Amino acid sequence: MADKSNASGAAVGRAPSADEPAHIRNVVLVGHSGAGKTTLAEALLVATGTIPRAGRVEDGTTVSDFDEAEVRQQRSISLTLAPFEHDGIKVNLLDTPGYADYTGDLRAGLRAADAALFVVSSADSIDGTTQMIWEECASVGMPRAVVITRLDSPRADFDATLAAAQAAFGEGVLPLYLPMHADDGAVGGLIGLLSKQIYDYTDGTRAQRDPDPQHLPLIEEHRNALIEGIIAESEDETLMERYLGGEDIDTKVLIDDLETAVARGTFYPVLAACAGTGLGMAELLEVLTAAFPSPLEHPLLPVTRPDGSPVEPLTADPKGRLCAEVVKTTTDPYVGRISLVRIFSGTLQADAVLHVSGHGLSERGHDDHDVDEKVGALSSPLGKAQRPVPHAIAGDIVAIAKLARAETGDTLSSKDDPLLVHAWEMPEPLLPVAIQAKSKADEDKLSTGLQRIVAEEPTVRLERNVETHQLVLWCMGEAHADVLIDRLKTKYGVEVEPVELRVQLRETFAGPAQGHGRHVKQSGGHGQFAVCDVTFEPTPSGSGFEFLVKIYGGSVPNQFIPSVEKGIRAQMEHGAAAGYPVVDIRATLTDGKAHSVDSSDMAFQIAGGLSLKDAAEKTQVLLLEPVLEIAVLVADDYVGAVMSDLSTRRGRVTGTEPVGNNGRTLVRAEVPEIEVTRYAIDLRSLSHGTGTFTRTYQRHEPMPQHVAQKVLAEAGTKSA
């Protein structure tokens, strides 16, 4: 692209600012863990003068002294913001986690950004997760570019990585620059394909010069492909004809068309960079500021009133109606809750009273909101530093302190003109982890700690299971669960420990049985006396409980017949053999005895429950386990492995179907829930991170005898 000097940015310690949306760029860094996203973000901060120095190198990773602890803690597991200025443009760089467990933070970054920069390591392959994110960006038309990093790695192979990116991401992925290798093999500069210039970094600074003769064939080969790719996206239909006719197209025309195509999301330039040496930072900054779109060019999301009534579409106008969204919630031990907010329209002022509208995730423990709340100070975060700003305009991203009620996904608007942004899709947490407090003191603080965790993590679902009496955190994966448990301890002083997850089993009778319930006690004065004989028999699945009366001669007085039924129902809730609820049986009261003085409602309730337990000892009790429909979306290469794995889990594959044209298949199967409690972890390993699944309850059905015997034996051991 055009040669521009690397102008210094904002002075250290001062928050970058923008006076209009056209001077803002919101860019999300995307890539797998280890690709170098955080190191690249830090190098850009150094290149623009936002932080004083790049720091030192430890174990191949550049670490900055400006916020070393924060970088180490946040780089892998949280969305972080790194704002800077370059050439009069404010860039909000959103660094996302590279682990699949933190897809929620990745989605938050995509929500807040107007363009995505895919960071790909030249020493590693492109993983399936990165390819899926590319497809997700494509589905919403998000502009994208690719930067190939870690060129100083001994295993670096730019050409192979470029080929892999083109194979994974499809057409329109073409390099703007090629690495220039010195005699010792190290990358000492970049070859500009459009400018046909060398940008030499060998002495630590960027120097421009003409190419050497050996570079010319390489430039010609890749430059022709680049020009053809740019012209193919040009709105000038005569360019291709002129180019094929031998005309030398002006470089400025090509650059203008390139920038338009990138902003439109139809062309995806590839750059090369080495964060440790600063190589490629100037070229990357040029693409970020000149080619990526401003908020004015990015369509805004649908907006309604909180009651669902429509409103006129918004634009990124600082003078328009205020509409913003919380994209990340964190808690600082000194400041309290901090909300990272993207402003879509209007201007957000410090200390203003705003309306908070809910986000529709109540099923995950996140209450919907429809309240007014006063915001605290506004700031532009950089690591741990919160640099104050007086206001934030449409298109900008800012942190707000002490928003006590707002959570991730909530909409902020004027209290006199409340709005609600269309909810964003969050991944479903599919790994259940049962936890319990370690001590009584922890138990007292647990509820508060969990509420704060849920407010920070929209991908967490908190469940208090009324059947198993367990507290269950539904997480994205094992690492996610570990981080949440550690956060409860370190940030909120609550220690919990994982316990074995109990699946909601049921019990039923395999055949008819006669139950005798006798409750007789004499302890002076009025005693307790109740006897009942009840015949139990199984009924069709899903039919529930049926109570019949076939007694003669008033052996059980009429006023105590409902007591027998009530006692049986109560015992059914507590189980007959293994402590799980009893379902699908018919109970027929056939006989009994009563005492004119000692019989009572409670006595016959107890006798009714005893009759059920007695019958259970005289027949086989079947354990019913929940069966789920599992729908697994996986790359075609892993379909066989997934189907084989499901069969080992007692699963029955019910069908497969291709999905789209991207080489993926949806595998449907019915699998016992007890076999897939950790399937979120196992599928990720099986599919190399590319597989996803959903689960839907279907029914309860009898558990195989050998499995049921083990459960019954464990239940007997615990009761003993």
- Give yes or no for a contact between 114 and 316, defined as CB atoms under 8 angstroms apart: no
- pLDDT score recorded for residue 4: 41
315 within a domain of the structure (yes/no): yes
Residue 61 pLDDT: 39
C-alpha angle with apex 211: 205 to 214, nearest 5 degrees? 125
In sequence order, the 6+-apart residues with CB closer than 8 A to the CB of 346 are 317, 318, 319, 320, 321, 322, 323, 324, 394, 414
Task: Give the whole-number percent of the chain exceeding pLDDT 70.
Answer: 92
The pairing of beta strand 187-192 with beta strand 197-200: antiparallel
CATH number at residue 476: 3.30.70.870
Mean pLDDT over residues 180-194, rounded? 86
Query: 609-648 pLDDT, tens per residue?
Result: 999 999 999 999 999 999 999 999 999 999 999 999 999 9
- Find out whether 566 and 537 touch, Cβ atoms under 8 Å: no
How many alpha carbons lie under 13 Å from residue 189 in its C-beta half-sphere? 21
Q: Residue length, the chain?
A: 720
Residue 56 pLDDT exceeds 80:
no
Residue 116 reports pLDDT greater than 50 = yes
Q: With 70 as the cut, is the pLDDT of residue 360 above it? A: no
- Phi and psi torsions of 295, nearest 5°: -55, -25
My answer on whether 290 and 347 are in the same domain is no
Q: What pLDDT was estimated at residue 64?
A: 43
Q: What is the pLDDT of residues 274-332, one digit of tens each?
A: 988 899 999 999 999 999 999 999 888 889 998 889 999 999 999 999 999 999 988 77
Residue 605 and residue 675 in one domain: no
Q: How confident is the model at residue 9 (pLDDT cuts 50, 70, 90)?
A: very low
pLDDT at 11 over 50: no
Does one domain contain both 91 and 146? yes
> If you average pLDDT over every residue of the chain, what do you get?
87
Res. 70: pLDDT tops 60? no
Q: Is 9 part of any domain?
A: no
What is the mean pLDDT of the segment spanning 255-276? Answer: 93
- The count of domains in the chain is 5
Answer yes or no: is 194 within a domain. yes
- Taking only the tens place, the pLDDT of each residue in 547-568 is 999 988 789 999 999 999 999 9
Q: Give the pLDDT mean for 93-114.
A: 87
| Beta sheet of 513-521, edge-to-edge order | 513-521, 528-538, 585-593, 545-549
Residue 164 sits in a domain of what CATH number? 3.40.50.300
Q: Is pLDDT of 362 > 80?
A: no
Domain range for 675 is 623-716
Task: Give the pairing of strands 268-272 and 173-175.
Answer: parallel
> What is the spatial distance between Cα 194 and Cα 58, in angstroms, rounded to a whole number?
36
The per-residue pLDDT for 57 is 36
Q: Which residue has the higher pLDDT, 359 or 667?
A: 667
Q: What is the CATH number of the domain that holds 402?
A: 2.40.30.10
Residues 601, 630, single domain; the answer is no
Residue 633 forms part of a structural domain:
yes
Q: For the ranges 19-33, 214-228, 367-381, 666-680, which has the lowest average pLDDT?
A: 367-381
Question: 274 or 18: whose pLDDT is higher?
Answer: 274
In a domain, 653, yes or no: yes
511 and 567 assigned to the same domain: yes
pLDDT in tens, 411-450: 999 999 999 998 877 788 999 999 999 998 988 899 888 8
Which pTM was predicted?
0.83
Cα angle: 270, vertex 109, 391; to 5 degrees? 115
Burial 446-460 (b: 16+ CB within 10 A, else e): beebbebbbbbbbbb
Residues 338 and 414 in one domain: yes
Compute the half-sphere exposure of residue 29: CA atoms within 13 Å on the CB side of its CA.
35
